[in-house]
Chain A
Amino acid sequence: MDEVATKIIEILRKNMKDPSKAVALETPLSELEIESLDLAVIVFDIEDTFGIEIPYNANEEVEAFATVGSVVDRVKGIIAESKASGAAA
């Protein structure tokens, strides 16, 4: 597992009721007993850790928040985008 994934799993663990539970990339977030407010805290923590902004709305079903792996992919995508726009500027 790469650094981004490791950091994200670390953040997820901090917000899980039972942090000893196994977490893999294919684990759905719903299995981690993460509720809507936890997710807002997790997104905040991820934004802070990676210095990015994630457009996430608790009122919408967001694909990117289905599994641990999809969160990792989304974050990597945003990091790449922000690097690209930074290079362009």
Chain B
Amino acid sequence: MVTGQGVVTPLGTGVDKFWAAMQRSDCGIREVQSFDTEDLYITIAGEVPDFDPRERLQSKQLLLADKYSQYAGCAAHEAVTQAKLEYPIKDSDSYRAACIIGSGVGGLTTLEFSYKMLFKENKRATHPLTLLKAIGSSASAHVSIEYGIKGPTFGLVSACATATHSIGMTYRMIREGLVDVGLAGAAEASLNWGATRAWQAMRVLSPDGLWPFAKKRNGTVLAEGAGILMLEEYERAKDRGAPILAELMGYGMTADAADMVNPSIDGASTAMQQALDDSGLAPSDIDYINAHGTGTMVNDINETRAIKRVFGNAANKLSISSTKSMHGHCLGAGGGIEAVAAIKAIGENYVPPTAGLDEPDPECDLDYTANTGKAREVNYAMSNSFAFGGLNAVLVFGPPPA
């Protein structure tokens, strides 16, 4: 069961702000503010606006951490608060709690800063916290310390499927009886000059906007943030009177084993099929798919074909959207933020839009909820994440048990 959720996004911090912004089809992609874009031809990104870690974080350790850990800390705080979980978790329960919070690249900006100091400014040493800030497991470690989580705690990595894999693995741990409760998701804060240079060299970024499934789409736009769910075993959640937002019903994961950048229909469709089979639902039961929808030429066509393969005729009755059109591509954190969008869609019976979809690509011919969101009954929703390397993860959510 999902008993709490939290986000930090380019559309704002906190689920309420995030959801309200998507209902207005707002776009969080803007000219970069946080670093100098000198010599770059990509100068836009989805940066988290007005982020003040002091608003939600009390611990001094987290206030000194890399921004990616702070994003995780803020999103986790929102999820734990909503779930009405008492913390620190009492000792008898603490080993039955998990904290699986990943990141695509961890504290990359900390590393960039320290290398700049060493190689450019000729400093003789780096800041003593550099290593702890940079490691990809620091977000999960910090959050475990905040709440007294003593069971399975680590960061998991699968590029842009990181959060989805983290949520899926935590779900499996609960289902298999290893733990009763877990915080799961990912955080990313890798927007900096060097990383933008590296992405720019791959030639997959758009210089002017992220328009999934549109004819005019010309690449993705980097973004940052965090998306974290509180997952909990049903009986336990019910016994302690926790709010149940949704049921996580299915999880699928595959690898294309083919190419680092060109996705395959087989890998994506099999992951979706596995998630459906795991949930026990039929394709026609799904009302909404939060698509991976990166706005690259290859992803959006491949994903459309994969959906058609799995859903057949039912594909035409689906509402689909890529909320990346509004919050950008939050990389490792994307699947966590998008899982929250899928859960909200169920809770509110409302499908958030694909913004900027004025004219669809003729090869992308499903209902992508163009430009404005739509009120419709949403009982079951799927969230897709397909990462570089051909790493695929898919979640299926349903309403709280009656």
Contacts and interface: CB of A to CB of B under 8 A. Distances in A.
Interface residues of B, number: 18
B218 A57 contact: yes
B138 interface: no
Given A58-B204, A58-B297, A59-B297, A35 B262 contact: yes
A59 B218 contact: yes
Contact of B261 (A37, A43, A44, A53): A37
A41 to B, nearest CB: 9
Contacts of A40: 201-203
B69 interface: no
A34 to B, nearest CB: 13
A56 interface: yes
Contacts of A57: 203-207, 218-219
Nearest to B300: A59
Contacts of A55: 41
A64 B259 CA distance: 25
Interface residues of A, number: 14
Contacts of B217: 59
B203 A39 contact: yes
Nearest to A61: B297
Contacts of A63: none
B262 A43 contact: no
A58 B262 contact: no
Looking at A35, A40, A43, A58, the one whose CB has the most chain B CB atoms below 10 A away is: A58
Contacts of B262: 35-36
A58 B204 CA distance: 6
Contacts of A44: 201
B271 to A, nearest CB: 22
Contacts of A35: 259, 262
B194 to A, nearest CB: 15
Contacts of A36: 203, 261-262, 298
B246 to A, nearest CB: 34
Interface of A: 35-37, 39-40, 43-44, 53, 55-60
Interface of B: 41, 201-207, 217-219, 259-262, 296-298
Instruction: For the complex of A and B, list the 4 residue pairs with the smallest distance between their C-beta atoms, beginning with the closest.
Output: A58-B203, A59-B297, A59-B219, A59-B218
